[in-house]
Structure formats: C-alpha cells, structure tokens
Amino acid sequence: MFLQPHTTPAESGWAGILPAGLAFTQAVHECRAPEHTAGHAAFAAVLLAKLGETTPVLWVSANPCLYPPGLAWLGLNPARCLFAHAKNDAESLGTLEVALRGGMAGVAECGELSRLAARRLALAARQGGSTGFLLRYAPATTSSDSTAFATRWMISPLQGRGEMRLQAELLYAKGGQPGVFVLDIHREAQNGAAPFSLTLVPPGPAEQQRRTG
C-alpha cells in the first residue's frame, strides 16, 4: 500500500529555514560529517520533524547506534519511526529505496555510495513524492560525488550559546548556491512540553575565519 506524498516545504512550515530555492520533498539529501561526530544525524532529524506527525520515517543502518530520546529532543517523535538493522550498506540503500518509492520519508546510513545507487534513490523519491536523507562519514569531496541528490551538506559541531549548534555547509544544491550556515537548536519547556526553536543563519566572523583558515 502506497502513502500519499508529503506536504510541500511551505505547507509544512519549512519555508524560510532552508535557503530559498532548494527542493525539499520528492528529493534525497546527502549529509556528511567528520568521523566520530553525529551532527548529520541531528540535522536530518530536525528536518524530518518539520514534515509533520503524519509522515512515517524509516531509519536504516548496518551499524545502528540511535538513541530514540535524542530524536525526541530534536523534535522527531520516535513513534513515527521504523528502525531497521541492515546486513550491510547495500541492504541499507535498497531498503531506503523501497521506503521512498512507497511514500515514506527515510534515512539510511552508509559508507560507500555509487552514482548508480544515488540515481536510484533520487528516482524513488520522485516516484513516491518522498524525502530521503543519506548519512555518511566522508570528506567534503569524493571521486564518486553525484548530482542526483537535491543537496549535499557537510555538518560539523560548533560551540555556541544554544544547547546544540551545528555548522551546515551546503556543498552542492540544485536550484541554489553553496554556502555556510549555522543551525542553533534550543529547547524551551512550555506547559510541560519541550519544543525547540531553530534559526539557520549566515555564520559570524568567527566561523568564517575558521573556515578560511
């Protein structure tokens, strides 16, 4: 049974957070991170939280180490998620492809990625009207970089006043310009709930100086 496609970014309240002109739904987004960090998973969780409570999410990995309360802290209800343990990267990618084609949102963690696999995932997202995320520990550029995905990000942790701060470098975007942004995440308890507020802003002089060396 196939699900209805998600709402658009404007309908889901995501407009104004991502840089203007970027496709969000019916697309796959690659999020990279330095080794031994988890900012790319946090970034994907925050984006998926914006799709709304009715969109189910598949999260598949050959080496799962997710902490569901951490997803809840980021605004993604674990009750929306189906967590899958794959045998290897190929099975992770194949499982994500099936989920996207069926109308689910999805996240797959993997190491190696071929251009053919990237094209298959992008096609599945378009066919299912879905949003997918691919999480990788990889440098900013590799020999297998694909233009099949809507965006490619490098997510790194930053120190800051917020409870979590990430540098989100947009390496590649269809319909947009690369750039560096800072994502601040704050949780503020209100009436017993734990909502969060997000701002995606150009980096200040300190971040610019670190990036340019």
CA distance 196 to 126: 30
User: What's the total number of domains in the chain?
Assistant: 1
In a domain, 62, yes or no: yes
Residue 56, domain extent: 22-212
In a domain, 9, yes or no: no
Handedness of CA 64, 83, 141, 36 (dihedral sign): negative
Per-residue pLDDT of the chain (213 residues; tens, 9 = 90+): 334 444 444 434 444 456 666 678 899 999 999 999 999 999 999 889 877 778 899 999 999 888 999 999 888 999 999 999 999 999 999 999 999 999 999 999 999 899 999 999 999 999 999 999 999 999 988 888 889 999 999 999 988 665 788 888 999 988 777 888 888 777 664 544 434 545 566 555 544 444 444
In a domain, 5, yes or no: no
In a domain, 12, yes or no: no
* Whole-prediction pTM: 0.82
What are the structure tokens assigned to 38, written together? 């988890």
Backbone angles phi, psi at 141, to 5 degrees: -130, 145
Handedness of CA 93, 94, 95, 98 (dihedral sign): positive
Handedness of CA 127, 143, 95, 7 (dihedral sign): negative
In a domain, 38, yes or no: yes
Q: Which CATH number characterizes residue 193's domain?
A: 3.40.50.300
